[in-house]
Structure formats: structure tokens, C-alpha cells
């Protein structure tokens, strides 16, 4: 059996490579590369897929967060509540617009922002809170219904960091809704390893607000429109080559998500009942950009070594919480401030996950995890 990559994009290309090459040739022949019809078509199709009125393509998932914050008027003197257990881009975007990230601890079950901890932050009254920025970590859904209720009570904006969660479904009392539809703005990433990945960087914001969408379009294009500049923006336009590639892949996304969910269910079936091993939920609408287990009792390194020895890639997302990073020292946080997040950073391990992952490969990976834990 070949080595097993954490994400193997070659297999996807083998299936749809001819379609990808065809659309690239078309864009090259048309000679329209920036802010063209290919992008407009993709934005229309993406909005329909996500169940929103508008989608705006930008250069990266990080820029999607920055532009979303700017479009909502968040900047200097403002504070935004977010998770300390996420990729740095989440907090970096807040800093980039001149605002202050205020961290709140996460839920033990799914490692997403804990609504009770959000309320605890807000109750202090120490900051000029303007927004909440939850993260759908690993493609697991944050409790958006509860977060929206809190935001409405405090008159705050909500920006969803859905970089790892396009197509995810959120269960509410009123029914199932899609990621990005309960917030003011949802932010997506098309980094190649994401569930909808391009051939390079890319991102988008999704929203039901025409005002926000129009402002985002201006912001991505240097703050200008029709030769008139309204404010300072960014050079952050999703190019037509990427839009064309993503249009092809978007057609397959629903089936790919089902395959990821199928793989996660099989992992869980094989790994259930093992002491000191916590498994992700497969019942909450997650889309499994990563399949991430948690290994208790300082045994993670043993599992990592066993997998590597047998040619299986794994990764730790994320080994150091943001509040403990050097770059955020000035915020004044310390070890012990967010115990759930700090516990998670010691336990999480992401195993190979992609639609084409074969049943026998999952069986091999699960067997190695069991062996490592049995021997430790």
C-alpha cells in the first residue's frame, strides 16, 4: 500500500483534470483575467450553493476576514470576540483593521467558541465590543443560533470564519441552515487543501446584505469604482483563472462532502470505545475539512511516530493557542486563561481526510492508532 498523505490533491486532479485544463484554456483564450465574467459566474453559483444572496470573490480567506470587518465598519478602538484555538489569520484580520481581538474559551465537545464564555467577556464591559467572530473549526459547526442570540441582545455584528466549513449545515430550532446564512457575513477560503480548493490562494465573503456585498466589491479593488476612490481598500481580487477552476469543482462539492462524511463515520466506527481517545461528532452537520481526534494522557507523540513510521501523514492543528503566541503578548494573556483550548492544543491530531481516501486506507490508519495506544 502506498504512503497515505494528509490531503492528496493528485487524486482529485486525476478525476477532473481534463475539465480543469479546458476551463484554463478558455480563460487564456478569452484574455480576461481580472474582474471578468468568469468571476461573476462563479460568484452567482457560489451564492446559490451557499443559500445566500451575494458572494464576493477575493484573493484569500484571510482577506475575506479583513474585508468583512472593514465592510461592517469595524476598526480602531473596537473589540472583536473570537477563539484562541484557530489559525492565526482569524485574529490577524482583526489586528489588520486596527481592532482588538478578545479571546474567549471554546467548548469541550467541538472546540468551537463557547457561548457561555462569550457572555462572560461581554459582561465585563471593559471593551468597546462590536462583533463576534466564531470559527467552524475542522469543519465542525459552532453554535451559531446561540451566538446570534447573544449578538442581537448586545447589538453586535457576527462574522463566521467558515474557511474550513463551506457547505456545512447548522441545526437550529427552526430547522437546518447553511454556514454563512445566520451571520452578517461568512468568510470562505479556497486554499488548495480546503474542501473547495483552488490552484492557489483564493477566498470569498458571502452575505444576504446588498450593502455589505457592494462595499466588499469596492474594498477588494483598492477602494474604488469607475475611477473614483471612496476609501483605502486592498488589491484583493479573485482572478478569473481561479474562478474558472472553482466553478468546475463547485459542481462536485456536494458529493465530495458526502464522501468526507462517509469517511468520518467509518473512522468513528473503527475507533469507537478506545480509552482516552475522543472522536469528532458525525451528527452535527460537519464537513470534515480535517478529521481530528483527541488523544488524552500525553500519548499523542506515540501515535504520531507510529503513523509516520508506516508512511501515514498526520498533523497538529494547532500546537500553540493564539493567546500564548509571542505576537499577541501585548494583549496580556497568560498560561491558564483558557483551559479548554490549552488542553486541546496538547491532544488534537488530524488524520488523513479527503474524498478519495479508500476504505482499506482508513482501516490501516485506525489499526495503527489502536496499536500505538495499546503499546503506550
Residues 120 and 143 in one domain: yes
Same domain for 188 and 273? Answer: no
pLDDT at 376: 61
pLDDT in tens, 85-128: 999 999 999 999 999 999 999 999 999 999 999 999 999 878 99
Which comes out higher in pLDDT, residue 85 or 227? 85
Q: Given this model, what pLDDT does residue 172 score?
A: 85
Q: Please indicate, yes or no, whether residues 201 and 186 belong to a single structural domain of this protein.
A: yes
Domain residues for 297? Answer: 253-375
Taking the alpha carbons at both ends of the chain, their separation in whole angstroms is 25
Q: Is the pLDDT of residue 2 over 80?
A: no
**Residue 212: inside a domain, yes or no?**
yes
Number of domains present in the structure of the chain:
2
Residues 34 and 183 both lie in one domain: yes
User: Do 34 and 97 reside in the same domain of the chain?
Assistant: yes
Same domain for 316 and 267? yes
Mean per-residue pLDDT, 176-185? 92
Q: Please tell me the distance from the alpha carbon of residue 301 to that of residue 299, in angstroms, as a whole number.
A: 6
Same domain, 264 and 233: no
Cell of 45: 453559483
**The pLDDT value given to residue 283:** 84
* Together in a domain, 44 and 59: yes
Same structural domain for residues 83 and 186? yes
Q: What is the mean pLDDT of residues 269-290?
A: 94
- Mean pLDDT confidence for 32-46: 96
Structural domain includes residue 153: yes
Question: Does residue 2 sit within a domain?
Answer: no
Shared domain check, 364 and 244:
no
Indicate whether 350 pLDDT > 60: yes
Answer whether residue 1 shows pLDDT above 70.
no
- For range 226-251, the mean pLDDT: 95
Q: Per residue in 245-254, pLDDT tens?
A: 999 999 999 9
**pLDDT for residue 227:** 86
Looking at every residue in the chain, the average pLDDT score rounds to 96
Closest CA to 178 of 253, 105, 115: 253
Q: What is the pLDDT of residue 22?
A: 97
Q: Find the CATH number of the domain harbouring 327.
A: 3.90.1150.10
Q: Give the pLDDT confidence score for residue 174 in this predicted structure.
A: 82
Please give the average per-residue pLDDT across 9-18, as a whole number. 95
Single residue among 229, 250, 271 that ends a domain in this structure: 250
Q: Is the pLDDT of residue 335 over 60?
A: yes
Any domain includes 91: yes
Question: Is residue 245 located within the same domain as residue 257?
Answer: no
Q: Are 233 and 222 in contact (CB under 8 A)?
A: yes
Q: Which of 231, 250, 269 lies at the terminal end of a domain, its last residue?
A: 250
Instruction: Give mean pLDDT, residues 8-34.
Output: 95
Q: Are 361 and 227 found together in one domain?
A: no
The dihedral over CA atoms of 61, 206, 357, 19, expressed in degrees to the nearest 10, equals -90
CB burial of 97-118 (b: ≥16 within 10 Å; e: otherwise) equals bebbbbbbbbbeebbbbbbebb
Has this prediction a pTM greater than 0.75?
A: yes
The last residue of one of the domains, among 250, 273, 306, is 250
Amino acid at each position: 500500500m502506498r504512503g497515505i498523505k494528509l490531503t492528496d490533491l493528485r487524486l482529485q486532479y486525476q478525476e477532473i483534470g481534463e475539465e480543469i485544463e479546458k476551463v484554463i484554456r478558455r480563460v487564456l483564450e478569452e484574455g480576461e483575467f481580472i474582474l471578468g465574467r468568469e468571476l461573476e459566474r462563479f460568484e452567482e453559483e457560489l451564492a446559490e450553493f451557499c443559500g445566500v444572496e451575494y458572494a464576493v470573490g477575493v484573493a484569500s480567506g484571510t482577506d475575506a476576514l479583513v474585508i468583512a470587518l472593514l465592510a461592517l465598519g469595524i476598526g480602531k478602538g473596537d473589540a472583536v470576540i473570537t477563539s484562541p484555538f484557530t489559525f492565526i489569520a482569524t485574529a490577524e484580520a482583526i489586528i489588520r483593521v486596527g481592532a482588538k481581538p478578545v479571546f474567549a474559551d471554546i467548548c469541550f465537545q467541538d472546540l468551537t467558541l463557547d457561548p457561555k464564555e462569550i457572555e462572560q467577556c461581554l459582561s465585563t464591559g471593559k471593551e468597546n465590543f462590536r462583533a463576534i467572530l466564531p470559527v467552524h473549526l475542522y469543519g465542525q459547526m459552532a453554535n451559531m443560533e446561540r451566538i446570534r442570540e447573544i449578538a442581537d441582545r448586545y447589538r453586535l455584528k457576527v462574522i463566521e470564519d467558515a474557511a474550513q466549513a463551506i457547505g456545512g449545515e447548522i441545526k437550529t430550532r427552526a430547522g437546518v441552515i447553511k454556514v454563512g446564512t445566520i451571520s452578517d457575513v461568512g468568510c470562505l477560503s479556497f486554499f488548495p487543501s480546503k474542501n473547495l480548493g483552488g490552484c492557489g490562494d483564493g477566498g470569498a465573503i458571502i452575505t444576504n446584505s446588498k450593502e455589505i456585498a457592494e462595499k466588499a466589491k469596492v474594498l477588494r479593488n483598492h477602494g474604488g469604482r469607475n475611477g473614483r476612490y471612496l476609501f483605502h481598500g486592498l488589491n484583493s481580487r479573485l482572478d478569473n483563472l481561479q474562478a474558472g477552476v472553482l466553478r468546475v469543482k463547485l459542481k462536485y462539492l456536494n458529493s465530495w462532502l458526502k464522501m468526507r462524511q462517509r469517511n468520518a463515520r467509518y473512522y468513528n466506527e473503527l475507533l469507537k470505545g478506545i480509552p482516552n481517545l475522543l472522536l469528532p461528532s458525525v451528527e452535527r452537520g460537519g464537513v470534515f475539512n480535517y478529521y481530528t481526534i483527541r488523544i488524552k494522557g500525553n500519548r499523542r507523540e506515540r501515535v504520531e511516530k507510529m503513523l509516520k513510521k508506516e508512511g501515514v501523514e498526520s498533523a497538529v492543528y494547532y500546537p500553540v493557542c493564539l493567546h500564548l503566541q509571542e505576537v499577541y503578548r501585548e494583549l496580556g494573556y497568560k498560561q491558564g486563561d483558557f483551559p479548554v483550548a490549552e488542553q486541546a492544543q496538547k491532544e488534537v491530531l488530524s488524520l488523513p481526510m479527503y474524498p478519495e481516501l479508500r476504505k482499506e486506507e482508513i482501516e490501516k490508519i485506525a489499526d495503527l492508532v489502536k496499536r500505538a495506544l495499546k503499546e503506550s
